[in-house]
Amino acid sequence: MTRVRFAPSPTGYLHIGGARTFIFNWLHARHQGGAVVLRIDDTDVERNTQTSLDSIYEGLQWLELGWDEFYRQSDRLDLHRRTAWAIFEKGLAYRDFTPASTGLENPIGAWLFNPGMRELTREESDQLIENIESHFDNRGFGLFATELKAEGKLIGFIGLHVASFQAHFTPCVEIGWRIAVPYWGKGLATEGSREVIRFAFDRLKLENLVSFTVPENLASCRLMEKLGMNRDPADDFDHPKVPEGHPLRRHLLYRLRKSN
């Protein structure tokens, strides 16, 4: 049986193009004796609004065409997770531990994946996770899982890490973070990083911290400055783990001293 889907996102009002798509889908389904599925694509939780959702319902009801099946995409999150894990288990997907950036931060283009991570075997990927855990065991600190208390949701990590390469500023302890994109711009990385800094200086008795990023990652640069970190252009360096000629090899180094 023919099944057609209309999947509006409740992040804005139903517009004429969406209504046109729904009409054509509805006509095709009825001509084929099929079904019309209305799926509310509500996974962008930070931008969803009830006003937008009401607009979608009211607009479609005004057309007086109706639908045969209805569900919200968020109702299927468990199914998506299980399917994603099954794909990973089959070796058709891979973990990517590379910090994300956006096209706005990186004029070269959005850094959506790191091809090098794709080349890792399952054993090598597991080893990376084991390294994070062993860092805690051996040093008493590491990359802390970061949870949004209001929702009990894992949104990334913020923590401390001993740099695993040689440079003019190593050995050193780096403060780093990776927060899921929907939670950017809310001050969460700043709040969490300040607590990690307090932990580093008060509990671990460290005297210095560093952080580094590519010049295009303006969001991280702004965060480092909010944290009181300072940059000396003479400290900037080519990351030894990034191949020569790669546009992301050059890094800016920021420092924070306990006395600051």
The pLDDT of residue 183 is 82
pLDDT band at 194 (very low <50, low <70, confident <90, very high): very high
Percent of the chain topping pLDDT 90: 55
pLDDT in tens, 16-51: 999 999 999 999 999 999 999 999 998 887 788 899
Residue 119 — pLDDT band, cuts 50, 70, 90?
low
pLDDT band at 98 (very low <50, low <70, confident <90, very high): low
Q: Which of 97-101, 139-143, 214-218 has the lowest mean pLDDT?
A: 97-101
Rounded to whole angstroms, what are the CA distances from 96 to 21, 72, 103, 108? Answer: 36, 28, 18, 20
User: Distance between CA 171 and CA 208 in Å, rounded?
Assistant: 11
Model confidence at 108: pLDDT above 90: no
Per-residue pLDDT of 247-258, as tens digits, reads 889 999 999 999
Domains of the chain: 3-83 (3.40.50.620), 94-257 (3.40.630.30)
Tokens representing residue 99 in the block: 């910090």
pLDDT tens readout for residues 208-231:
999 999 998 888 999 999 999 999
Residues in the chain: 260
Query: Does 149 score more than 80 pLDDT?
Result: yes
What would the mean pLDDT of 73-88 be, rounded to a whole number? 86
**Angle, alpha carbons 146-84-127 (nearest 5°):** 60
Stated pTM of the model: 0.57
The token duo for 37 is 């599925």
Kindly tell me if the per-residue pLDDT of 95 is higher than 90: no
The CA angle 151-141-101, to the nearest 5 degrees, is 60
**CA–centroid distance for 140 within its chain:** 26
> DSSP assignment of 45-95, as one string?
TTT--HHHHHHHHHHHHHHT---SEEEEGGGGHHHHHHHHHHHHHTTSS--
How far apart are alpha carbons 93 and 79 in whole angstroms? 17
Copy the structure tokens of residue 22. Answer: 């729904």
